[in-house]
Amino acid sequence: MIEIKGLKKIYKNVTVIDIEQLSISNNESFGLVGNNGAGKTTLFRMMLDLVKPTEGIVIIDGKNVQGSDEWKKQVGSFLDEGFLIPYLTPNEYFRFVGNLHGYSTADLKAFLEKFEVIFHGEINGQNKYIGDLSKGNLKKVGIAASFIGNPQIIMLDEPFENLDPTSQIRLKELLQAERKLRQVTYLISSHDLNHVTEICDRIVLLEKGKVIKDLRGSNTLAELESYFKG
Amino acid sequence: MINIFLSHSYKRFIRSVAFGRELTKGIFMALLALMLIAYALIAGFALDGLVTKVFEQPDSLLFVNRLLLYYFVFEFVMRYFMQNVPALDVQPYLHLPIKRTLIAHFLLSKSWLHVFNSIVLLLFTPFAFTVVAGRVGTTYALGWLGSLVILSWVLHYLVIFYKKKLDDSIWGIIAFGSAFGSLGAADYFQWFKLSDVSAIVFRASSTIWYVLVTGLILFFFLYRLNFQSFVSSLYGDDWSNKKNSATEWGKYSDWQFLKGFGAYGEWISLEIKLILRNKRPRTFLFLSGFLLLYGLIFYNDGGNSQKMPGFSLFVATFITGAFMINYGQLLFSWQGCHFDFTLTRPISVRHFIESKYWLLSATMLIAFVLSLPYAYFGWKIILVHLAIMLFNMGINVFIMMNIAMWGPKRIDLKNGDIFNYEGIGAAQYVMAFPILLAPYVFYLPFSFLVSSEVGILAVGSVGLTGFALRPYLINLTTKRLENRKYLIAAGFRKE
């Protein structure tokens, strides 16, 4: 359960986020769309306590994210390359994150097997540092690592960008399969309206930091398309 | 075409996003070069006087000749550390109708415009015309000078070849340095005299022409060798990708025993990987190793240092804290590229700070143990080292960590140049002062009022107190990082 109350971020008199109230319930699949500069990434960063709100709070499982570390076990996230460690090989990175979550070797192996469908033999066991991987492979490593520890909430920024078509389709399947397996809340931002409406049952549209549409149901895609055409 | 390359290089510099920084760096480098040139020139004019008066050698030419081989060894090592493989951002030119050979020639010729290539000329020209010409005539003097210059230029291309072919093999240079170090020792104890060989090779007589010709042949040979290696490696991926995937260092960086320390062990082991797998922190590590020898200069003076133990505090801070000062000044910048990761993963800021504390403390303990042989110059030195090590662990580490939080900048770990000023801000320039001066705050009052021994004791006790209050000091540091983390994270996100 994520609650946002009176959240505001102002940079030099420009309001980039202004959300009165927004709550995301457990097991919800939440999509965030909006043009460049709408404030998607800033919102995610504030939810992860990476950017300090000018006003307001973000509450995860009843606790303010600011000043606590407990939510970190329950939230897996991948926003950009700042979430990866360039001088480790992918396997070392997974092992490192796994250890933070108390993974055993067997847990790690099961995890790697699950993601092999998108890794495609290019990541697991490769003797190459993350810093030397291609953009697409970087993304795969980051997305996979956000699943380590089976967190209740998984937050991904543009997960489909830079992925090849096969991986895009498989990632979609993987995300959906995970929801059938266990309780998980997704927060996904994307510019790809088809993908995001397919995965998410709730879409929030941001414009200049404000929530201007909160959509559910089958009509979502059409409504989004008409907005973005405008 | 060459003009276009030059103009592109110029535009790249002028229009760079980081123009201010580049300019500062450029001015700094130019000043450094001017300083080197001035020193070389002064040394050049003073050479004869220096040899005859200070070293009291009757035959200054013979003395210089004896040392020349050693000089070239020294120059080679200096070049190794200060000279870079010439690089041009070749990617945008490769697909255009420009001959590869032209690019290679351009790179190699441009590299030749290096301050080091003028040093020999500046250092030995006055000597050649005053002393050598006076002794053996102008022709031989010119031959002598020419040989020296050409050999120095041979070194220029040798270093490029060495660095390009044996990328990063610092062991090579260490082996080379120590081999000549032992030859020097053998010379000193008169077992084998390399200096005699040197004197024969550089004797300013008819044999000097052989040296000159050999030098010229070597020069063209090495140029050709470099040229071929450049032409064959002018591929985009060769210049960018290969560098960091050197797993030679990776092999030695997985220290399993650290796993026993739980979460701290994980983070310390991560940081060890960072240090060993990236060139710049690795250079800092080697530099700190060399700084262990710093004491040889100061303690090896027949007991003078014993008379002024106040100064040895300074030396001791360097010896035991070299790595803390060098590496610690950029403490948070090293991991700046994944600071967001650090903040969102299940690890508390306190653990993060504590893992850094133990890593730095461990390096100081290691430096202390390695510096134990200084007991040879007097056991009191060890006491000073111990007091300072405690002081570093109890006080200085915390000073360092707190100043390092002051506007840290992002570092591109792949860039390994020795003159890479990335990540250096105002904080880094002033950082060394409080750390070097802090021990004196406690030493001076006691040494004036009571005695220097009590002063040292005071420094050690303060350090021990700080060490005992560690949990509290770590808490303070943690709080400060928690307050500043948004600012720091925003700074790291900027390219």
Size of interface A-B (CB pairs under 8 A): 84
Q: How far does chain A reach from its first CA to its final CA, in angstroms? A: 34
Flag whether residue B95 sits within 8 Å of chain A, measured between CB atoms.
no
> Between A7 and B180, where is the model more confident?
A7
- Closest to A90 (Cα-Cα) out of A45, A152, A137, A47: A137
CA distance A168 to A190: 12
> Looking at the predicted structure, is the pLDDT value of residue B395 above 90?
yes
Nearest-by-CA chain A residue for B243: A132
pLDDT for A170 = 94
Same domain, B319 and B424: yes
Q: Is B469 exposed, middle or buried (0-12, 13-18, 19+ CB in 10 A)?
A: middle
Mean local confidence (pLDDT), B416-441: 72
CB-CB: which of B244, B278, B345 is closest to A72?
B345
Q: How many domains does chain B have?
A: 2
Run of H or E including B495: none
CB within 8 Å: A49 and B490 = no
What digits encode the pLDDT tens for the residues A48-86? 988 889 999 999 998 998 888 888 889 999 999 889 998
- Give B-chain residues touching A48 at CB under 8 angstroms: 340, 343-344
Interchain CB contact of A83 with B (< 8 Å): yes
Mean pLDDT (chain B) is 81
Beta bridge partners of residue A211, listed in sequence order: A206
User: When comparing pLDDT for B136 and B272, which is higher?
Assistant: B272
Decide which of B463 and B22 is more confident.
B463
Cβ B320 vs Cβ B364: under 8 Å: yes
Whether A146 and A76 have beta carbons less than 8 Å apart is answered as yes
B448 with B489, same domain: the answer is yes
pLDDT for residue B104 is more than 90: no
The partner residue sitting opposite A87, judged by closest CB among B241, B266, B273, is B273
| Residue B13 and residue B147 in one domain | yes
Query: Contact A46/A53 with Cβ under 8 angstroms?
Result: yes
Q: Minimal Cα–Cα distance from A217 to chain B, Å?
A: 32
Residue that terminates a domain, selected from B241, B269, B291? B241
Rounded Cα distance, A80 and A159, in Å = 10
Same-domain pairing of B134 and B167: yes
Same-domain check for residues B198 and B307? no
Picking from A42, A87, A104 by the largest number of B CB atoms within 10 A of its own CB, the best residue to mutate is: A87
Hey, what are B132's tokens? 């050598």
Range of the domain at B396: 250-493
B237 and B334 inside one domain: no
Q: What is the mean pLDDT of residues B39-46?
A: 82
Q: How many CA atoms does the CB half-sphere of A197 hold within 13 Å? A: 16
Question: Chain B: nearest CA to A34, how far in angstroms?
Answer: 22
Among the three residues B193, B220, B241, which one is the final residue of a domain in this structure?
B241
Model confidence pLDDT, tens digit, residues B310-337? 778 888 888 898 899 888 888 898 888 8
- The type of residue at B271 is E
Given the DSSP bridges, would you call strands A202-207 and A185-189 parallel, antiparallel or unpaired?
A: unpaired
What are the chain B neighbours of A96 within 8 Å (beta carbons)?
266, 270
**Confidence tier at B244 by pLDDT (50, 70, 90):** very low
Give ipTM to 2 decimals.
0.83
pLDDT-derived band at B67, boundaries 50, 70, 90: confident
pLDDT at residue A206 in the model: 93
Cα B138 from Cα B122, distance rounded (Å): 17
Residue A114: pLDDT band (50, 70, 90) is: very high
Strand order in the sheet with A55-60: A14-24, A2-11, A55-60, A63-64
Do B196 and B306 sit in the same domain of this protein?
A: no
Mutation for A interface: B253, B254, B333, B345, most A CBs within 10 A: B345
Supply φ then ψ for residue A19, to 5 degrees: -125, 115
- B274 and B235 within one domain: no
Distances (CA, A) of A17 to A10, A21, A52, A184, A224: 7, 12, 12, 26, 20
pLDDT at B243: 44
Mean pLDDT, residues B61-77 = 82
Report the C-alpha gap between A155 and B130 in whole angstroms: 76
- Whether residues B273 and B178 fall in one domain: no
- Taking CA atoms, B425 is separated from B163, B207, B397, in Å, by 29, 54, 19
Residues B194 and B115 in one domain: yes
What's the pLDDT score for residue B21?
A: 64
């040889």: which residue's tokens?
Answer: B296
Q: CA nearest B249 in A: which residue?
A: A87
Give yes or no: residues B182 and B83 share one domain: yes
Instruction: Decide if B203 contacts B65 (C-beta within 8 A).
Output: yes
**Interface contact B270-A149, CB threshold 8 A:** no
Q: What is the pLDDT of residue A160?
A: 94
**DSSP conformational letter for B93:** H
Q: Strand A14-24 and strand A2-11: pairing?
A: antiparallel
- Tell me the mean pLDDT in the region B359-376: 91
Averaged pLDDT, B185-192: 76
Distances (CA, A) of A143 to A194, B315, B412: 19, 50, 23
Confidence label for B239 from pLDDT (cuts 50, 70 and 90)? very low
Contact A100, B345 (CB under 8 A): yes
Q: Are residues A178 and A21 in contact, defined by beta-carbon separation less than 8 angstroms?
A: no
Last residue of a domain, one of B241, B261, B295: B241
Helices B138-165 and B60-82 pack at an angle, to 10 degrees, of 20
Give the model's pLDDT for residue B251.
Answer: 62
DSSP letters for A89-103:
-HHHHHHHHHHHTT-
What integer pLDDT is reported at residue B231 of this predicted model?
A: 79
In this structure, the answer to whether residues B107 and B232 fall within a common structural domain is: yes
Mutating which of B245, B341, B348, B485 best tests the A interface, going by the most A Cβ atoms within 10 A?
Answer: B341
